[in-house]
Structure 1
Amino acid sequence: MDKFYYSVYGPLIEKFIDLKKSLGYKYQGGSLVLVRFDRLAVLRDEPEVGITKELAQTWGTKDPNETDSTWYIRIEIVKQFSLFLCHLGYTSYIARLPKFNCSYVPYIFSEQQICALFSACDKLQLNICSSRSIVFIVPALFRLLYSTGVRISEALSLLYDDVHLQERYLILRSCKNGRDRLIPISDSLAEVLMDYLKYRDYYNGLKGNGSGHLFISREGRPCAIQTAYVWFRKILRKAGIPHGGKGLGPRLHDLRHTFSVHTLSKMATGGLDLYYSLPILSAYLGHKSISATEKYVRLTADMYPSIIENSNKLCPYLYPELLTPCDHETN
């Protein structure tokens, strides 16, 4: 295995990452941050294990072109590593996290906008000259994202053998939290995927003996996230939905947020109390805790205030009024 860590902290960084992975985290981003921290330790020729205040402050200096969120995350990761070192008996300075106020609010599509998106998808035309085009997967892919709330990475990682349309479920493997999960799908989504698979298999010469990834280009290659995003921007334009520019959205991930809000709304409208619906939605989304799902209560209240008002009449102590908390969360 290639060695990535060369400082005195190297072996302990590897143990720390192994611990994170054993707890279910993929920790790819964290590993890259710690590679950078290891390089700083090498440049400073740190003689022994134990993060000093000076080292922590040097690490915590914000780069000129660094975003607030990136700055905050890398300080948080090394803070966790410091706590790990202290637990092992190495005295290390525990840095204070900087104040970070996120201004991003998830974009929740209206039901009319979702219909417009799907209509725009269905009007796309296949360019027969491009073997790398993914245009034929777009209608099914975007319907899957909205109908299930799965992350775009999870959707594009789906394998042909993990799609069980007769039984109406999908198997998602190696998700964000390091766990596989099984999710049921609706009859209408199953029909969409059946139609897509007929075309996919016939075009690629598989004729019912499909294999590999579910969403592939005309030449059989898996679709990349960036490619899906490019088509998402095209569909937004065709649907007449404005985009605020880089970092302002709507984003592909907002289809997941929209699914969650619309699902809460439908469950509440159907008579299911939010107290019971939150755990159901949390498990379906693959969240580790209900706290990661609670933000959708406020988003639902913004779009459907009468639902929350009716819930508060039944149990006002369960859902206190939320002002405007940060929603940079990408769960």
Structure 2
Amino acid sequence: MKKLSQRLDQYLALRRSMGFDLSFEERVLRKFVSFANDNGFQIISTQLFLDWKASYGSADNNTWSHRLGMVRQFAFWLAEHDDRTEVPSSQLVIGRYRRRVPYIYAPSQIVAIVDEAGRLPSPYGLRAALWQTLFGLIAVTGMRVNEALSLSRQDVDLDHAVLTLRNTKNGKDRQLPVNGDTAHRLAHYAKLRDRLVAHQSSAFFIKEDGEPAGDCGARYNFAQVSRNIGLRSPQAFNRHGDGPRIHDLRHTFAVYTILDWFRDGRDIEAEMYKLSTYLGHSEPKNTFWYIEAVPELMQLAAARAEKRVLEGAS
């Protein structure tokens, strides 16, 4: 049975092969594993973390929440190799900020969302076409909801099937190519929009009153669709309720893209930099985060890394 220190070496080597800068995280985890070895712990457990926290010195909850997140990531990976591993609960320490674990929609759920949006009632039928097209566009491009809503007519080049996103979250413009089916659906919406609404703004996505569709409307209609298909529980007073979010369509696009790369045997690190640019991330680490956030991706990455080690040793 390998020692925790040996498992940590494997874990750090795997994540470095994905492009992560681990200088700070390694220092924290080395101290954690050293404490475990010095105190007779052979596996990761909740008690190990609590004992380490009690003896490590004073720090605020934000610091300990960050350290807990590092230990949990290591434990999730280790659990695939040693079923005795206990992943400490994220509720052991509550910090100010914790990145939300993405909800990854099944393909059938995405189809259900788009289909149900097409049944939203309105006097002229534009509401259904608007939100069906918008939700579908986010699902197949991974763009942020506000990026999609900010598209002007000039930004949607249907002849060349290219969308131009301006003044994005990171202050940069970028272009997204779309496939022929997506361009066809955008054209269908635009044709219906222009036929039904006489006085319009310059926005590509507009409501039946001719005004631009907004973020609140997107989230309200997405919540209603989600309730209709059972992804959220019924709510009184038109409340949104809790459940998978519209932004999780973006996460789902990214995860399925990376999964396809693993299955195709592509160079993940090289492809991830392309995806980072496509998604408009400020730093590649925000894209590599998906590998850590989704267990299946982490397992695939670990399996590939171990295969390389075995091939190198043969």
Shared fold (TM-score greater than 0.5)? yes
Where structure 2 has 5 or more consecutive residues not aligned to the other structure, the ranges are: 1-61, 63-93, 310-314
Residue 247 (structure 2) pairs with residue 239 (structure 1): no
Q: 2:121, 2:127 within 8 Å by CA — same for their partners in 1?
A: no
Provide structure 1 residue ranges, at least 5 long, that are not aligned to the other structure. Answer: 1-67, 69-97, 317-331
**Deviation at residue 269 of structure 1 after TM alignment:** 2.1
1:157 maps onto 2:150 in alignment: yes
**Pair 289,304 (structure 1): closer, same or farther in 2 beyond 3 Å:** closer
Match for 1:187 among 180, 183, 188? 180
Question: C-alpha separation between the residues in 2 aligned to 1:314 and 1:283?
Answer: 29
Instruction: Please state how far the C-alpha of 1:200 moved relative to its aligned partner.
Output: 0.9
Paired residue total: 214
| 1:265 Cα offset (Å) | 1.2
**Could you say which residue in structure 2 is the equivalent of 1:255?**
249
Residue matched to 2:59 = none
CA distance in 2 between partners of 1:314 and 1:189 (Å): 38
CA contact (8 A) 2:291 2:297 kept: no
The one of 100, 104, 107 aligned to 1:108: 104
Cα separation, partners in 2 of 1:139 and 1:176, compared to 1, 3 Å: same
The aligned counterpart of 1:223 is: 213
Shift of 1:303: 4.1
SS state at 2:154 partner: helix
- Per-residue deviation, 1:246: 7.0
Which residue identity does 1:291 align to in structure 2?
K
State the one-letter code of the partner of 2:248: D
Query: Does structure 2 retain, via aligned residues, the 8 Å contact 1:269–1:307?
Result: no
RMSD: 2.9
Relative to 1, partners in 2 of residues 1:165 and 1:271: Cα closer, same or farther, differing over 3 Å?
farther
Moved over 3 A (4+): 98-101, 243-249, 303-307, 313-316
- Higher helix proportion, which one? 2
Determine the C-alpha separation between the residues in 1 that align with 2:113 and 2:241.
20
How do 1:1-331 residues align onto structure 2 when only pairs under 5 Å count? 99-100=95-96, 102=98, 104-128=100-124, 134-205=127-198, 212-242=202-232, 248-300=242-294, 302-303=295-296, 307-315=300-308
TM-score (norm 2): 0.61
**8 Å Cα contact 1:243/1:250 also seen in 2:** no
Structure 2 SS opposite 1:212: coil
Change over 3 Å in CA distance of 1:146–1:275 after alignment to 2? same
Identical positions, percent: 32
